Chain A
Amino acid sequence: MRPRTSGAVLAIAMALGAAPSARAADPIFSQGVLHEFRIVMDPADWASLRANFRSNQYYAANISVDGEVLQQVGVRSRGKGSRNADKPGLLVDTNKYVTNQEFHGLKKLVLDNVVQDGSFLHEPLAYQVFEAMGIASPAISYARLTVNDEFWGVYWLVENIDKNFLAARFGGDKEGNLFKYEYVENYTFTDKGSDPNSYLPLFQPETHEDKPDATALMQFVQAVNGAADGAATVAAAAPFIDVDKFLTYVAVENAIAGQDGWAGLEGMNNFYIYQFTGQTKFVVIPWDQDTTFVSGTWPVLQRLDTNVLTRKLLADPAKKQFYLAQVKAAAAMAVNPGFLTPKLEAYYSVMRNAVLADTKKPFTNEQFEQGIQGMRGVIAARQPDIQTQIP
């Protein structure tokens, strides 16, 4: 059934503001409505997917999103720490069985099961901040999932990071090397030697999978590790990354109190990194931002000394000044009640009833409501906290 548009929806749409990118303007990523995502598949296949949720085995299914049908897609379990049998995270591959099939220009759809965020708010709000600060981020919306007509809860429908994403965000540039960071160890951008392949377990190729080339990535890491701290590192990193853009990325992570990002609690995590076509230059793309907004008070330099790249860049006084300015700018532009609260309330309005009815979520309804209330508090506290630290 196609969701109906109402006056409330229009108000929500106004609260959410203009779409931050072309892809986010797509109707399936509209944040003003709760999307209806239906999956029809062999019940035995669904049982098997849940029983073997650690496996990446695909199963054939028909789907419909807001009434728009797509047949014979591949569906599999997805996620890392969020893999779950009771409420599986799902990856939908429109091309698995049908050649050239796409859905709104997408070949893969991510259904995030939201089992690590009791408020259901962290990731959508985080991406809003990244986009406001000019960092290309995946589009995201709320969806109500049914499998064979049984309600499986509220999911985030997240734009997959792939060639379509790259082309839409980077002026058609999509033939470069895209890597997804996979957490396998507590890695902090240390030199892993001059064999590019030694980086591939951590940086898994998402393009050119048959012939992955991590040479520039290896050179990037080695250049940074081989340079003296400060200005020398800035110069060494410059051929590989837009240093100011990267520092803005990290500034956003600390502005939104993210604990599992570039300088995360257990090392680096939750990002893609893309090497532009025919260049050595990389750009970082945020992913899986459900462990953000963890506290109203959060050190703006949290753990940046634990990561080789951030520590060595920030040893340059000018870059440290720039970084702090970007944290402050993030607070002024986006990490404040004026920007985030209307969005929070709009999301809450869109999803609340469905989340309360979601019996698959690993939280009670009280915890959900407390989570919402907690987020209101975090948002209210972040800007003053940042202003206190950076007068």
Chain B
Amino acid sequence: MRLDSHRLRRGFLVFTAMLAAAPLAAQDKGWEFGPGAKLSRPSSGIELGLTGYIQEDFRDFSHDYENSRGELPELGEEAVLRRFRLGVDAQWKRLAFEFTYDLHDPVEHLKNLAGDVKISKAFHIKAGKMKLPSAAEWLTTAAKIDFVERSLAVDSLNPSRDWGVQLGGDIKKLTYFVGVFRGDGQLDESRSGTTAAGRLEMGIRKGLELGVFATQGDVHADPPIAANPLPRGVSFHAPSGFRFYERHFVDGTRRRLGADARLRRGPVGVRADILQMTSERQGQGSVFDDLPTEVTWGWSASATWLVTGDKKQRTIKPEHPLNHGGIGAVELGVRYDSLTADDDGPDTGFEGAGSRARNIRRQGGEAWTGGISWWPLEYVRLVGNAVVERYDDPLLAPVPGKKGNYVTLLARLQLSVP
């Protein structure tokens, strides 16, 4: 879908109308406008905030990809409107509400729709459609992640959004979230059934946070008599878009375990993530026999440095933006990523790449990403990434026999609601 579609034009109109209406509404007695696109009425404790951002991505591939692109259907357009999110955050006393809609996503328009009741600092109840408590990078909005893409493991293995109920709160230095959801990704092909998920975060010292998380649910295979049963396992996508691990047939318990660490000190940010997902394959053999559990795992480590001396925080606010005679904020970053799939059975017999392989042919990939971000203004961000991909199995690499290095250049223009 391109920018000239009716839906996107309507979105722009709604967005502009909402931004224009906010100051007008603020002229009414008792309402205040700002900071940003926020409208509040302190006397009654009401706060309304418009949220949203738009991302246009550009992508270029190495010659190897170019040579074989006709056979690589996962490689998408070189310039694409990636996300166009609009939303509202509202708060009234102990109640909070969030709504996020993507005008561009061809599959899932409704991203978040949830209400939150704050019983006490230590106990909130949230219900609706939301992100499952999981990896910190996934819980960070795509507008504020350090690179164009999330890490391989988080992108491929993390649960996404679903309907459910979640409890959360702060107890001293601990923050917890625990919930039950209808699945682990409402519109994902690999969606599981009812899934429990929980995350525990701890502030060790100023700027250092550790988190652990886990999810568990049952994934149900299509009945074998179905005309065209779909495998419900995960697939792996590289930042280039190349799919280097295909979905397998799974049935039974799906479990995720993960941990992450984040350090922010002045202009520097360091983070690391590790994530493992296991999926049983009961009765998924080619003769309906049980197969060894599919095991997928990955990790990443990254460091960023705001060379302009700005403070590394969740939302980067340039101290010297362009409209005040400065150059804005500039951040450099580097990341290493790794992601692997195998099974927990003995490494004997035929190693297959098929979707019902007893002995899954081990496949992994890794990526080095170097990036630069520039915020000329708080609500404008330009990102450039160079990604070098490598694949463990040369046979299953984009060009058979060549493990790497496959270079992809990514660029993003992002505009956010101030």
Task: Give chain A residues whose Cβ lies under 8 Å from the Cβ of B352.
Answer: 41-42, 45, 59-61, 72
A-B residue pairs, 7 tightest by C-beta: A60-B354, A48-B286, A60-B352, A97-B353, A42-B350, A72-B353, A45-B286
Q: Tell me whether B286 and A47 are in contact (CB under 8 A).
A: yes
List residues of chain A with CB within 8 A of the CB of B42: none
A57 closest partner in B (C-beta): B286
* List of A residues within 8 angstroms of B356 by Cβ: 45, 59
Chain A stretch 78-133: residues in CB contact (< 8 A) with chain B = 95, 97-101
A72 / chain B contacts, CB cutoff of 8 Å: 352-353, 361, 395-396
- Report chain B residues within 8 Å CB of A51: 287
Per-residue contact bits, chain B 325-364, to A (CB 8 Å; 1 contact, 0 not): 0000000000000000000000001101110111101000
| Proximity string of chain A (56-88) to chain B, C-beta cutoff 8 Å, 1 when within and 0 when not | 011111100000000110100000000000000
A44 at the interface (CB under 8 A from B): yes
Contact B358 A99 (CB under 8 A): no
Cβ–Cβ < 8 Å partners of B396 in chain A:
72, 97-99
Contact yes or no, B353 A41, CB < 8 A: no
What is the bound-complex CA distance between A58 and B355, given in angstroms?
Answer: 9
Complex Cα distance A335/B235, Å?
Answer: 55
A47 to B358, CA, bound (A): 13
Q: In the complex, how many angstroms separate the beta carbon of B179 from the nearest chain A beta carbon?
A: 38
Q: Any chain B CB within 8 A of the CB of A40? A: yes
Give the nearest-CB partner of B358 in chain A.
A42
Contact of B286 with A59 in the complex, beta carbons under 8 Å? yes
Query: B residues engaging A (CB < 8 A)?
Result: 68, 71-72, 246, 285-287, 289, 349-350, 352-354, 356-359, 361, 395-396, 398-400
B68 nearest in chain A by CB position: A100
Q: Give Cα A61–Cα B350 distance, bound, in whole angstroms.
A: 8
Residue of A nearest to B357 (CB): A60
Nearest Cβ on chain A to B205's Cβ, whole angstroms: 48
Question: B290 CB to closest chain A CB, in angstroms?
Answer: 11
* Contacts A60-B354, A97-B354, A101-B395 supplied; 5 other A-B pairs, CB < 8 Å: A42-B286, A57-B286, A59-B356, A60-B357, A72-B395
Which residues of the partner chain B approach A97 to less than 8 Å between Cβ atoms? Answer: 246, 353-354, 396
Pick 10 A–B contacts, CB within 8 A, sort by A. Answer: A41-B352, A45-B286, A45-B354, A47-B286, A47-B287, A48-B287, A51-B287, A59-B354, A99-B396, A100-B71
Least CB separation from A71: chain B residue: B395
Chain A nearest CB from B73 CB (Å) reads 10
The answer to whether B354 touches A44, judged by C-beta atoms less than 8 angstroms apart, is: no
* Residues on the A chain within 8 Å of B289, using CB: 44
Q: DSSP class of A's interface residues: helix, strand, loop or mixed?
A: mixed
**Which chain A residues lie closer than 8 Å to B358 at the CB level?**
42, 44
Q: Select which of A42, A45, A99 is within 8 A of B68 by beta carbon.
A: A99
Is A99 in contact with B398, judged by CB distance below 8 angstroms?
A: yes
Which residue of B is nearest A46, CB measured? B286
Cβ–Cβ < 8 Å partners of B350 in chain A:
40-42, 45, 60-62
Interface centre among A40, A44, A51, A101 (most CB of B within 10 A): A44
| Structural contact, B354 and A99, CB atoms closer than 8 A | no
Contact between B400 and A101 (Cβ–Cβ < 8 Å)? yes
Q: Are A99 and B286 in contact (CB under 8 A)?
A: no
Smallest Cβ-Cβ distance to A62: which chain B residue: B350
Given contacts A59-B354, A60-B354, A72-B353, are A99 and B400 in contact (CB under 8 A)?
yes
Known: A59-B354, A97-B354, A100-B71. A44 touches B285 (CB 8 A): yes
Chain B residues in 8 Å Cβ range of A48 = 285-287
Which residues of the partner chain B approach A61 to less than 8 Å between Cβ atoms?
A: 350, 352
Give the docked Cα–Cα distance between A71 and B350 (Å): 11
CB distance from B323 to the nearest CB of A (A): 48
Measured between alpha carbons, how far is A71 from B395 in the docked complex, in Å? Answer: 8
- In the complex the two chains form, is A42's CB within 8 Å of B359's CB? yes
Interface string of A12-46 (1 = CB under 8 A from B): 00000000000000000000000000001110110
- Say yes or no: A100 contacts B286, CB within 8 Å: no
A172 CA to B400 CA in the complex, in Å? 25
CB distance A74 to B287 under 8 Å? no
Cα A371 to Cα B213 with chains together (Å): 71
| Given known A-B contacts A98-B400, A100-B68, A101-B400, A42 and B395 have beta carbons under 8 A apart | no
Q: Give the residue of B72, B357, B398, B400 whose beta carbon is less than 8 angstroms from that of A42.
A: B357
* B289, B353, B359 — most chain A CB neighbours (10 Å): B353
A100 near B354 with CB under 8 A, answer no
Who on chain A is nearest to B398 by CB?
A99
Q: Do B353 and A98 touch (CB < 8 A)?
A: yes
